[in-house]
Structure 1
Amino acid sequence: MQTDLNKKIAYVGCLGVVGIISTEFGIIGVLPQIAAHYDINIGTAGYLLSAFALFIAVTGPFTVLFASRFDKKTIMLCALGLFFISNFFSMFSPPFWLLMILRILPTVLHPAFFSMAIAAAVKGTSQNDQMKLTSIIIGGIALAQVTLIPLTTFLASIYAWQITYAIQGFIILVTIFIIFKFIPSMPNEQPVSFKNQLSILVQPRFISGTLLNLLLITAWFCSYSYFADYLAKEKHMSEKEISLLLLLFGAMGVFSNYLAGKFLGKYMFWTTLIFILGVFIVPLAFAYTGDTFFIVALVTSFWGIMYGPCFLIGVGYMISAAPNAKEFANSLQTSFGNLGVSLGTAIGGFFITQYSISITPWVGVVFAFLAIITIIWRAYLDRLHDKKSL
C-alpha cells in the first residue's frame, strides 16, 4: 500500500530526474551550436552525449553495488552534488577536452540516484503500486523533455548555449535543498549480499529484459540523438521552431509515459509491442511528408508518444525479473539503457558521416526488429515461470 512518504519520495525523485536528464539530453537541442563554438563537426560534438552514456554503462553496476550499503538519502544528495558541479563549471565554456571531463564527472553516481530513488519510493508497496510510483520517477525523463530541454534550447537560440547549464544547475540545486530538508534518512536496513544480487545475471528472464532494454533504446537514439540537426537540415526548421517541436515531443512523451504506467503492469507484452512499432512508423511518416511546420509537428507528436515510455518499459521488464535485487536491477537498467544511448548515438553518427542526416530515422529499424523477437522470447519465459509458480 502506498504511503504519503512513498509518494513524496517519488515526486522528489521525479524532480531530480528532470535535472539529471536535462543535463544528459539537453545537449541534443544545442549540439549544432556547440559544434560551431568549438569548430568541430556534429559527429565529434555527439561524443558529449555518447561518452556520458558509455561511462554510465561501464561504471553503473559497480557503483550501485557499492552504494547500496549506504543511506539512500546521502547517495541521492552526493549524486546531485556532482551534477551541480558539472553544470556550474560548464557554464564558462571551458576547452572542449575539459567540457568532456565535466560531462563525465557526474556519471559515477547517475545510476545510483535512479536506483536509490526507485527502491525508496516502492518500499513496502504492491506490485501494481510499484509500477505507478516508478512511472512517476521515470516520468521525470519525459517531463524534462517538455520543460527544461525545450526551454533551454529556446533560450540558447536567443542568448547562448551556455545558458542551458545555468538553468539545469539551478533545478538540481533546488532538488538538493528539498531532499536535504524534507526527506528523512533512509538507511539500508537489510542489505542484500553481493552474491544474491549478482545471481540475477544468469537468470534468462532478467537477461531477456536487459536485452530488450538495450535494443529498444538503441533503436530510438539512432535518430533522437540528432533530433535538432535532422529537423534543421531535412525539414528546414529554424532554431525557434525546433525548440517548439522539442516542447511538443516532450509533452507527448509525458502523456504516453503516464499511459504506459497504467497498462504495463497488466498488459506488458502488448503495451511494449505497440510502442516498439513506432520505430517502424516514424521514418515512413517523415519520408512521405513535407517540410511545413504543421505536418512536421504532427509527425513529431507521434514520435514523442512512441518514444516516451522506452525507459519505463526497460525498468518494468528488468525489475519484474529481479524482485529481490531492485537496486542492482535498476542500476543495470540505467547502465544498459545508457549503453543503448551511446550505441544509438554512435551508430547514427556513423551513418550521418558515411551517407547523410536523412538516413538516421531508418537506422533504428534493425534494432526494433530484434526487440520484437526479444519480447516474444520473454513472453515464453514468463509463461514457463508462471507454470513453475503454480
Structure 2
Amino acid sequence: MKKYAYIGALGFLAVITTEFGIIGILPQIADHYHISIDKAGYLLSAFALIIALTGPFMTLLASGFDRKKVMLTAIAIFLVTAIVSSLSPPFWLLLTVRILPAFLQPVYIATALSVAILKGGKKNENELMSIVFSGVAIAMVTTVPFATYIASLYSWTYSFTIQAIVSIIALLAIYFAIPPLPIKEKKSYGSQMKILTKPIFMVSTAMNFFMVSAWFSTYSYFAEYLNKAKNMDSTMVSYMLFVFGIIGVIANWVAGKMLNRNITFTTAFFLSGTLIIPLLLYFSDGNMFATVCTIALWGFLYSPSFLNASTYMISSAPEALEFANSLATSFGNLGVTLGTTIGGWIIVSKGIEFSSWLTMAFGFLAFLMIALRQFLEKRGTTNQITAVQCTQQ
C-alpha cells in the first residue's frame, strides 16, 4: 500500500518547509536583526549541525517506541517551533527554537521510511522511498516558494505561519490515517552499529557528505545569490524557487524509477550537476533566459540528492535500514552545515559570485568516493571468487 508512503511524504513536507523555508527569507532576517548574511545562515547551519551530531543516537533511542507516536511527537515539535518563530522573538531565541526540532528530524525520516516499506512491501522499496522523499521536492514547489512570496509581500514572520499550517495538516494526517505500530522485536544497538565497521558503507557515507556539502555551499544562499549575482528582487526569487521546485518534483519521480535499475549510475548522473551548474551559472552572466534555464536544470539535478544519498548508503547496509538512513540524514546535514558555513565565509570574504565554485570542488570529492566504492566492491568480489576457487581445489 502506497498510502503510508504518501502520509510520510506529507510529514516530510512539513519537515522540509521548516528546515529550508528559511532559505528564501535569510536576507530579510539579516536586515531585521541587523546582522550579516553569514550569521543569519546559522539558522540553517545550526539546525543541520544538531541533526548531524545527534541523529543516529536519537534514532537508536527511538527504535523501540511505537512508530506512530514517534512521528506525531516529531511533527508536534516542528509545529511549536513554527509558532514561536512567527512571533519575531529575539535572535538568540529564534536560533534556539530552530534547533529543537532538529533532534527529531532524522528520527521522523527514518521512521516514515520504515513505515512506508513495512506497509508497502520490500520489493517496491526504492519506489516507496522516492514517494516519501517527494515531500522534499513538493515543498520546493509549493510551501517554500509560497512562504518566500508571502514574506516578500508582508513580513518574514508570515513564512513561519505557513510552516505552522503545514505542520498542523501533517499532524492530523498521521493521527487519523496511521494505525498504532508498536515494535514487536527490537534490534540490539550492537547489531545495528556493526555497519560502521564496513568500509564500503563508510565510503558511501563520505560520498553523501561531500555531495550535500557541494549543493548547499550555494543553495543555502539561493536568495542572496540571485539578489546580488543575478540582480533579482525578492518576488523574482520566489518565482525561481517555484521553477526550481516544479522541476524537482519531476526529478524525484525520475530518480525513483532510475534507482530501481542502477543505484550507482543514478547517483552519479544527478551528482554531475555539482560540476555542470557552477559553469552554467558563470556563463549565463546577466542573460535572464539562460539563468532561468540553468535554475531549472539545477532544480532537476539537485532535488533527488537526499533520496540518492539515502538509497546509496542503504544499499551498502540493507540489514540496518533505519540506522543507516539516520546516518545518511546526519551526514547529509553535516554536509549542509559545512557547505553553508564555508559558503557564507566565501561570500563575506571573497564575494557571492565565488560560492558556486565551492560546489564544484566538493562535487569532485564526491565523485572520488563513488570511484573508491566501485574499487572496493570489485576487490571484494575478486577476493570472494578467489576464496571459492581455493575451497574447490
2:156 matched residue in structure 1: 161
SS of equivalent to 1:325: helix
2:311 matched residue in structure 1: 316
Q: Deviation at 1:125?
A: 5.7
The separation in 1 between residues aligned to 2:347 and 2:253, in whole angstroms, is 33
Structure 2 unaligned residues grouped into runs of 5+: 389-393
After TM superposition, what 4+ stretches of structure 1 lie above 6 angstroms from structure 2?
Answer: none
- Larger CA deviation: 109-118 vs 316-325: 316-325
SS of equivalent to 1:237: coil
Whether 1:151 and 2:146 are equivalent positions in the alignment is yes
Q: Deviation at 1:208?
A: 1.5
Q: Deviation at 1:132?
A: 0.3
Q: Deviation at 1:292?
A: 4.0
Trace 1:245-256 onto structure 2 (pairs within 5 A). Answer: 245-256=240-251
Trace 1:192-211 onto structure 2 (pairs within 5 A). Answer: 192-211=187-206
2:107 matched residue in structure 1: 112
Structure 1 unaligned residues grouped into runs of 5+: none
Trace 1:351-370 onto structure 2 (pairs within 5 A). Answer: 351-370=346-365
Which TM-score applies when normalising by structure 2?
Answer: 0.95
Q: Deviation at 1:131?
A: 0.4
1:273 matched residue in structure 2: 268
The separation in 2 between residues aligned to 1:290 and 1:364, in whole angstroms, is 17
Code of the residue aligned with 1:337 in structure 2: it is G
Q: Deviation at 1:169?
A: 0.8
1:12 matched residue in structure 2: 7
CA deviation map 1:216-265 (0-9, x unaligned): 00000000001000101111111111100000011111111111111123
Which TM-score applies when normalising by structure 1?
Answer: 0.96
The one of 251, 255, 260 aligned to 2:255: 260
Q: What value does the CA root-mean-square deviation take over the aligned residues? A: 1.5
1:79 matched residue in structure 2: 74
Q: How many percent of aligned residue pairs carry the same amino acid?
A: 44
Q: Deviation at 1:25?
A: 0.5
Distance 1:209 1:125, change over 3 A: farther
Code of the residue aligned with 2:305 in structure 1: it is C
The separation in 1 between residues aligned to 2:88 and 2:322, in whole angstroms, is 35
SS of equivalent to 2:156: coil
Trace 1:1-390 onto structure 2 (pairs within 5 A). Answer: 4=1, 7-123=2-118, 128-384=123-379, 388=384
Code of the residue aligned with 1:359 in structure 2: it is F
Distance 1:168 1:238, change over 3 A: same
Code of the residue aligned with 2:198 in structure 1: it is Q
The separation in 2 between residues aligned to 1:359 and 1:283, in whole angstroms, is 9
Q: Deviation at 1:12?
A: 0.6
Distance 1:306 1:128, change over 3 A: farther
Query: Do the aligned residues in 1 keep the contact of 2:264 with 2:312 (CA within 8 Å)?
Result: no
Q: Deviation at 1:383?
A: 3.8
The separation in 1 between residues aligned to 2:224 and 2:3, in whole angstroms, is 38
Code of the residue aligned with 2:342 in structure 1: it is I
Code of the residue aligned with 1:264 in structure 2: it is L
SS of equivalent to 2:284: coil
Query: Do the aligned residues in 2 keep the contact of 1:289 with 1:295 (CA within 8 Å)?
Result: yes
Distance 1:139 1:375, change over 3 A: same
